[in-house]
Amino acid sequence: MRRKLKTFRSVIARWQALPLGLWLLVALAAISARSESAPPPPLKTAAAVRLLSPAAAAQQRPVQLSGTLLLVTRHRDALVLRDETDSIYVELNHVIGNSRRPGDRLEVTGVTDAGGFAPMVRATRLTWIGTGPLPRPRPTTIADLGAGGFDAAWVELEGIVRSCRPTPWDPFAVPRPGEVAPANRVAPPGSGAESWTITLAQGSDRLVVQLRDRVAPEQLIDAKVTLRGVVFNVHNANRQFVRANVQVAQAGMITIATPPPPDPFALPFQPIDEILRFTPTGFTGHRIRVRGVVTAQQPGRTLWLQAGERGLRVATDQAGAILPGDVVEVVGFADHGGYAPHLNDAIFRQVAPGAPPVPLVLDTPEKIAGQDSNLVQIEATLDEVRPTAEGWLLALDWNGTRVDALLPRGAGEPPGARWEPGSRVRATGICQPGQANFLPPSGLWVADRMQLFLRSPQDLTVLRAAPWLTTRRALAIAVTLTAVILVALVVVSVLARRKIAQREEARTLAEVEFAAMLAERNRLAREIHDTIAQELNAVSMQMELAKNSAKHGAVEEIMAHLVTAHGIVRSCLAEVRESIWDMRSHVLEKNDLLGALRAVAEQMSAGLGCTIRTHVSGKPRRLAPLIEHHLLRIGQEAVANALKHAQAHVIDLEISFEAARILLVVRDDGRGFDPAAERAVGHFGLQGMQERVEQMGGELRIRRGENGGTSVEVAAKFLPA
């Protein structure tokens, strides 16, 4: 205990010994840490909130505002508040009742939010602090609102009311994320809640105004008014401005400066061809009254009139069908149309029925300019008929000018095959001059293009059916012929290639056949030379010996030679018979290669005093018949040459069976010969041996020994039987 107390006293003494500057630094650090942990001060003005960037407003900075209520939104879950600096949109966390009115003084506590277009406030607490007058609004124009900086602004506008239509309450209110739409967002039946959509005009500028109060439309339409309201901007998903509208909370915020006429149909008549003509006082912007004959109608949308040689397009949402030829009176607002003036936001009444109007026949494009919205008729060639989203579009060739005629959906279906491209037709419809690519900056604008609005399929009459050979059919025929020609060329090409291939194959077969015949001739020549010729040669030699013996009277020797010759002849006949069957030596059928060679050699050397010696190395085995046959004939030729030309006394036959090849050697002790000289004189035996070796894919070597004699060596690849 004493030790702890002593330690505590020493720490206090050290702190007391610190200098005053260090104490100040410690205090400042503590104050800074406290300020960093404390929340930022709340924003006190609407202007301060509107100056925030979207990222800064999304950080939910605290807000404390007090100001005047300008407007409660339609679903009563948001309001617009104005203080001494600016106006701000405030979204509530609950639906407020009907007790709050414009002019109430409110205190709002909440946080900032980026909003969909401009910074806003999300309220957490709303307190009523009293009632006062509305602030003075900011005078502006419809054109100024297009700048996009008036979001939630309290403004004052003047203009002429063009239309006033009821707007039904939304039966499916869209709640905020995570919130369920309460039932009181929808106006209950019989509650008397009303909403009106007003179109306000300032010259050629238009503005949509929403009024949530009772109103008499006949008291506003065509009246010059001054209104006060709150600006709400329409924006896209990228926070980009689209257009502005104004919401008015009470009917009392609309002041009528010039009331409309009590009976619009009591206005003086104005000729159709004098609408928007020059006057020193300019155009009033108020409604005018015209009279004309109906030429066409789209119920609830458009009405076309004709007075004299002029036509007029009237936009009206008034229900009720009228017939072409009826005389009507129309009251509406004159606006600049595509080429000629139109009447918009109009009402009409029928005066008297009448006969269908007669269209004006146009023969040249120069007459288009004076026939806007008039009923006209042309004769043209039908080039194309195709469906579109609006109806059936017909492309007409009118004296070299393209005219598009539209049969709208609901007006009837085209008669199919009768409207065939290439037909000569008479088209009757409402003239709509087209806009040129270049409009003059001033002066006269002459329209040289036209569209026709067809009222029904009966407005197109076929004067002359399309010729059978139309452009489309000619193109189809040309395409078909081209396709047929291409197919024919392909077929001819394929057949020609096939014929060439057949001829090439036939030529190849002929060459193969000729080569086979030539090879067979050579083979037969070799066979005859190696068998019959050799054996006949042996017979000749025996007969020669018998002849010599006969000179000396040696009968026994003669008989021996004759017997040998007779045996050779019999053997030759037997082998010829065997060759006729399969051209295979009968000797190989009874013996192996070495035995066959020995038998042939002994037969050929019989009575000549020549010794035949044989030798085998390696493991003896049968070879392919063709290999054995060629080796037998080569060996037979070599033995015959040794007996006939070399006069050999000893002939050695050696066969060596190796791993991948067989080696045949025929060696004699005769006088020898020069192989090159023998080939030069065309010795058929050597040529036959060479050809047989080439057919086996082997090697042939003929060498003359140093001490005389000849060695014939044949090496061939080993092919088992």
Closest among 455, 379, 465 to 418, alpha carbons compared? 465
How far apart are the C-alpha atoms of 13 and 114, rounded to whole Å? 56
264-352 shares the fold of 46-169+192-258 = yes
Mean pLDDT of 582-586: 50
Instruction: Output phi, psi for 671, to 5 deg.
Output: -80, -10
What is d(CA 532, CA 633) in angstroms, rounded to the nearest whole number? 12
Q: Which two structure tokens, joined as six digits, stand for 408?
A: 């709208």
Q: What is the pLDDT, as a whole number, of residue 54?
A: 93
> Distances in Å between the alpha carbon of 394 and those of 362, 405, 414, 548?
18, 5, 10, 123
Higher pLDDT: 408 or 34? It is: 408
pLDDT class of 529 with cuts at 50, 70, 90: confident
Residue 305: its pLDDT value, please? Answer: 95
**Is residue 265 over pLDDT 90?**
yes
pLDDT band at 53 (very low <50, low <70, confident <90, very high): very high
> For residues 342 and 182, which has the higher predicted lDDT (pLDDT)?
342
Q: What mean pLDDT is predicted for residues 536-562?
A: 76
399 token code pair: 């004296």
For the record, the structure tokens of 376 come out as 């006209």
CA–CA distance, 244 with 240 (Å, rounded to integer):
12
Class level of CATH domain 46-169+192-258: mainly beta
User: Can you read off the two tokens belonging to residue 508?
Assistant: 């190849």
Has residue 172 got a pLDDT over 50? no
Note the pLDDT of residue 1. 45
| Averaged confidence pLDDT in the chain | 83
Residue 520 is inside which H or E element, if any? helix 471-528
The residue that leads in pLDDT, 705 or 295, is 295
Assigned architecture for domain 360-435+446-464: Beta Barrel (2.40)
Please state the φ and ψ torsions of residue 244, each to the nearest 5 degrees: -115, 150
Rounded to 10 degrees, what is the CA torsion of 266, 269, 272, 274? -130
**Best CATH choice for the domain 264-352 from the list 3.40.50.620, 3.30.450.40, 1.10.540.10, 2.40.50.140:** 2.40.50.140
Question: For residues 171, 177, 181 and 182, what is the CA-based torsion angle, rounded to 10 degrees?
Answer: -150
Express each pLDDT in 349-405 by its tens digit.
999 998 999 999 998 888 887 888 999 999 999 999 999 988 999 999 998 889 999
> Could you report the per-residue pLDDT of 81-91, keeping only the tens digit for each?
999 999 999 99
Nearest-angstrom CA–CA distance, 87 and 119: 11
* pLDDT for residue 94: 87
Q: Is the Cβ–Cβ distance between 483 and 477 less than 8 Å?
A: no
CA distances from 223 to 4, 164, 284 (A): 94, 11, 12
**Is 90 exceeded by the pLDDT of residue 620?**
no
Highest mean pLDDT among 33-47, 196-210, 356-370: 196-210
Q: Which residues contact 478 (CB under 8 A, 6 or more apart)?
A: none
Q: Looking at per-residue confidence, does 173 or 248 come out higher?
A: 248
Query: Would you kindly state where each structural domain of the chain is located, as residue ranges?
Result: 2-37, 46-169+192-258, 264-352, 360-435+446-464, 517-717
CA atoms within 13 Å, Cβ hemisphere of 328: 26
- pTM more than 0.75: no
Please report the pLDDT score of residue 528 as a whole number: 73
Highest mean pLDDT of the ranges 109-123, 457-471, 640-654: 109-123
Ranges of beta strands (E only) in 478-573 are: none
E strand spans, 473-577: none
Q: Which percentage of the chain shows pLDDT scores above 70? A: 84
Q: Please determine, looking at this structure, whether the domain spanning 517-717 carries the CATH number 1.10.10.60.
A: no
Task: Quote the pLDDT of residue 178.
Answer: 39
pLDDT: is 557 or 384 the higher one? Answer: 384
Choose between 246 and 441: higher pLDDT. Answer: 246
Q: What is the pLDDT of residues 7-18, one digit of tens each?
A: 545 544 554 544
Instruction: Compute the average pLDDT of residues 34-53.
Output: 82
Q: How confident is the model at residue 507, as a pLDDT? A: 80
Confidence label for 191 from pLDDT (cuts 50, 70 and 90): very low
**Is a pLDDT exceeding 70 seen at residue 637?**
yes
CB 206 within 8 A of CB 219: no
Segment of 96-110, 218-232, 333-347, 704-718 carrying the highest mean pLDDT: 218-232
Residue 627: what are its φ and ψ, rounded to 5°? -65, -45
Q: What pLDDT, in 10s, does the model give residues 62-101?
A: 999 999 999 998 888 899 999 999 999 999 988 887 888 8
